[in-house]
Amino acid sequence: MSLPKPTETSSAKILVVDDDGFMRMQLRVYLQKEGHRVELAENGQEALAKFAEIKPEVVLLDALMPVMDGFACCQALMDSYQNPSPLVLMITGLDDEASVDRAFEAGAIDYVTKPIHWAVLRQRVKRLLYQSRLQYQLESANQMLERLAKIDQLTQLANRRQLELFLDTEWSEAIREQYPFSVLLCDIDYFKNYNDYYGHQGGDSCLQKTAVALAKVVSRPKDLAARYGGEEFLIALPNTDLEGAVHIGEQIRREIAGLHIPHAQSAIADRVTLSIGCASTIPPHGSGWAQLVAKADKYLYQAKAEGRNRLVSGQLGEEPMG
């Protein structure tokens, strides 16, 4: 579970957990003077509920409390919230080696001892908030890298690697549930001629516009549009029969035609068009998705052989339909 985006160090949300009411008030007054927003809890169980509600950036946690002590509460927080873990500053009257080790083993980042030296507490909190910002930035960077690893940079569609992972997962589910699975393999007609005439920048623009059109039509959360390679795109349609896949394929062709992208070097039209191979099956046990994609590729080849700018479809193992 993700933690919240950190605020500036001058104004943070801090949860203070202590069974001593006077200590809670002291901590709240001091931290509020430092510009922080403070929430209070008086035992570990209450702290867990409050943490789930407000998602504080830092927890100041007393070690010894009734109901649930700080060590158990800290461990429970670490078990429930990971990557990044909560930032816990343990407050304890115990400064023996065993207690300090126990605090760190439970997941605390730092600790201060009672009676509290307020200047020390201020610096410890400031350091934890700085660490909170670094954690958030690292998590954001990792999420961005994970996203970049899944998409084709030019078209912003899924890349080949993500497509294959998707097909592995969804094909297995289709086998278990025995529902239909369809794929569309789309190719921009005479794209090499287009690239030669309009240049690579023009070709890239054409691919991007085509990708936007595909994403517009392929809008169900369960479906996936991916760049398959070069000017080819593959649409994976779990739980979609042949009729439904053909309907989506024809929608795509109409959407592309409606863009009116000029194509002076096409032998069949004055604008960009698509040829599509469509294959569908109910996956038999022990089968793989590669056979279905290969069949869609054969239908795509047939669509090109018959003059392009068309869709050829069929069930796996049956004759194609133009």
231 is catalytic: yes
Gap between the Cα atoms of 255 and 269, Å rounded = 15
CA atoms within 13 A on the CB side of 22: 1
Residue 161 is predicted with a pLDDT of: 93
Q: Which of 231, 243, 250, 318 is catalytic?
A: 231
User: Which phi-psi region, left, alpha or beta, contains residue 168 (left: φ > 0; alpha: ψ -120 to 50)?
Assistant: alpha
Specify if 8 maps to a domain: no
**Based on the structure, what is the number of domains in the chain?**
2
Q: For residue 235, what are its two tokens?
A: 């649409």
Report yes or no: 256 and 231 within 8 Å, Cβ to Cβ.
no
Nearest to 208 by CA among 188, 182, 237, 236: 188
Specify if 106 maps to a domain: yes
Is residue 20 domain-shared with residue 73, that is, in the same domain? Answer: yes
Is residue 182 domain-shared with residue 256, that is, in the same domain? Answer: yes
Specify if 197 maps to a domain: yes
- List, in sequence order, every residue forming a beta bridge with 158; answer none if it has no partner: 151, 226
Specify the CATH number for the domain of residue 227.
3.30.70.270
Residue 319 is predicted with a pLDDT of: 63
Gap between the Cα atoms of 313 and 37, Å rounded = 62
Is residue 204 domain-shared with residue 137, that is, in the same domain? Answer: no
Is residue 176 domain-shared with residue 137, that is, in the same domain? Answer: no
Residue 322 is predicted with a pLDDT of: 60
Specify if 2 maps to a domain: no
Gap between the Cα atoms of 148 and 135, Å rounded = 20
Is residue 110 domain-shared with residue 220, that is, in the same domain? Answer: no
Report yes or no: 254 and 273 within 8 Å, Cβ to Cβ.
no
Is residue 303 domain-shared with residue 220, that is, in the same domain? Answer: yes
Which residue, 148, 175, 197, sits at the end of a domain?
Answer: 148
Gap between the Cα atoms of 18 and 112, Å rounded = 13
Q: Residue 16 is inside which H or E element, if any?
A: strand 13-17
Is residue 167 domain-shared with residue 105, that is, in the same domain? Answer: no
Specify the CATH number for the domain of residue 140.
3.40.50.2300
Report which DSSP code applies to 67: S
Nearest to 320 by CA among 301, 307, 309: 301
Report yes or no: 152 and 226 within 8 Å, Cβ to Cβ.
yes
Q: Residue 87 is inside which H or E element, if any?
A: strand 87-92
Tens of pLDDT, residue by residue over 32-86, are 999 999 999 999 999 999 999 999 999 999 999 998 999 999 999 999 998 778 9
Q: For residue 214, what are its two tokens?
A: 């595909």
Q: Residue 236 is inside which H or E element, if any?
A: strand 232-238
Is residue 48 domain-shared with residue 139, that is, in the same domain? Answer: yes
Hey, what's the torsion of the CAs at 190, 205, 154, 191, to 10 degrees? 0
Task: Spell out, as residue ranges, where the chain has pLDDT lower than 50.
Answer: 1-4, 6-9
Q: Which residues have C-beta within 8 Å of that of residue 48, sequence separation ≥ 6?
A: 68, 73, 76, 77, 80
Gap between the Cα atoms of 120 and 61, Å rounded = 16
In this structure, is the dihedral angle defined by the CA atoms of residues 290, 296, 300 and 301, taken in order, positive or negative?
A: positive
Residue 145 is predicted with a pLDDT of: 79
Specify if 7 maps to a domain: no
Is residue 110 domain-shared with residue 191, that is, in the same domain? Answer: no
Matching residue, tokens 């979609």: 240
Specify if 6 maps to a domain: no
Specify if 320 maps to a domain: no
Specify if 42 maps to a domain: yes
Is residue 197 domain-shared with residue 121, that is, in the same domain? Answer: no
Q: Residue 188 is inside which H or E element, if any?
A: strand 181-188
Gap between the Cα atoms of 27 and 16, Å rounded = 7
Is residue 304 domain-shared with residue 167, that is, in the same domain? Answer: yes
Matching residue, tokens 């830092």: 58
254: domain range? 160-315
Mutual angle of helices 21-33 and 118-148, in 10-degree steps: 70
